[in-house]
């Protein structure tokens, strides 16, 4: 199928119209509103928080073609435009959401007041691993990923709990074709050589227990992007806004304070 720019749904989470705009993006397999809900509530006094879902996840319709990170960045720009009204926005994304945030920083720095990249990397995983996961999901659906995702997403001792169960339910509900197309986009994604040219304020957040995108990945981004800094959180694996909402909210508020 040809590459398409998907239609993405934006959902208002918190804050008032007079506050700066914060756009939050989810990880693969999660719904943005669920992943960011607690962190957004803590930031309601500093930001107007807008969550944008991935294709076939949460409130967004399924993808109708192949995807690339550039197409996803274009889709986020289109989803945010009616809410931004020409205003620059702070973008914060987890995992693939962090990859989209980096893509936006490369392509559209004039739209951003800054970038927060969480539990992500300039190159996530291997091409072969993403291709294998895409094939698996196409054959068996996203439910087959539940056990592996639970082990990767949460630090030891965090799950099961209400938020972990809700996030795993969004994985079960995700459209398999869209999930597979997002895996293909991740297989092709590699911005490692582009990092030194990124020229906007950037905060990189990781988790000490993150096996999918370990702290070295976040430290590599911070070392390569001029002026960027990394913060690695204890007791966090791959979903920092759900695992440590207070810490993430405090870091974002201080970053743009």
The pLDDT confidence band at residue 3, using thresholds 50, 70 and 90, is confident
The pLDDT confidence band at residue 21, using thresholds 50, 70 and 90, is very high
Q: Is the pLDDT of residue 105 over 70?
A: yes
pLDDT of residue 257: 57
CA distance 198 to 228: 10
pLDDT of residue 169: 98
**Where on the phi/psi map is residue 160: left (φ > 0), alpha (ψ -120 to 50), or beta?**
beta
Domains of the chain and any CATH numbers: 10-255 (3.40.50.1820)
| Location of structure tokens 């070295």 | 216
Rounded average pLDDT over 43-53: 98
CA distance 95 to 152: 12
Q: Is the distance from CB of 89 to CB of 80 less than 8 angstroms?
A: yes
Determine if the pTM surpasses 0.75: yes
């Amino acid at each position: 199928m040809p590459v398409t720019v998907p239609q993405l749904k934006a959902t208002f989470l918190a804050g008032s119209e007079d506050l700066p705009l914060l756009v939050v993006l989810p990880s693969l397999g999660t719904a943005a509103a669920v992943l960011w809900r607690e962190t957004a509530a803590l930031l309601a006094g500093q930001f107007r928080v807008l969550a944008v879902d991935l294709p076939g996840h949460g409130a967004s319709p399924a993808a109708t073609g192949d995807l690339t990170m550039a197409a996803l960045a274009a889709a986020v720009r289109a989803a945010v435009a009616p809410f931004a009204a020409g205003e620059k926005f702070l973008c914060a994304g987890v995992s693939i959401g962090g990859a989209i945030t980096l893509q936006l920083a490369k392509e559209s720095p004039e739209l951003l007041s800054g970038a927060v990249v969480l539990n992500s990397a300039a190159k996530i995983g291997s091409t072969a691993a993403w291709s294998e996961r895409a094939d698996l999901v196409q054959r068996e659906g996203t439910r087959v990923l539940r056990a592996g995702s639970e082990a990767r997403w949460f630090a030891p001792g965090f799950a099961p709990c209400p938020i972990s169960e809700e996030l795993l339910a969004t994985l079960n509900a995700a459209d398999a074709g869209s999930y597979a197309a997002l895996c293909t986009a991740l297989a092709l994604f590699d911005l490692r050589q582009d990092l030194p040219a990124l020229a906007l304020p950037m905060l990189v957040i990781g988790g000490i227990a993150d096996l999918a995108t370990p702290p070295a990945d976040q430290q590599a981004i911070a070392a390569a992007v001029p002026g960027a800094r990394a913060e690695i959180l204890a007791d966090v694996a791959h979903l920092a806004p759900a695992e440590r909402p207070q810490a993430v909210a405090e870091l974002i508020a201080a970053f743009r304070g």
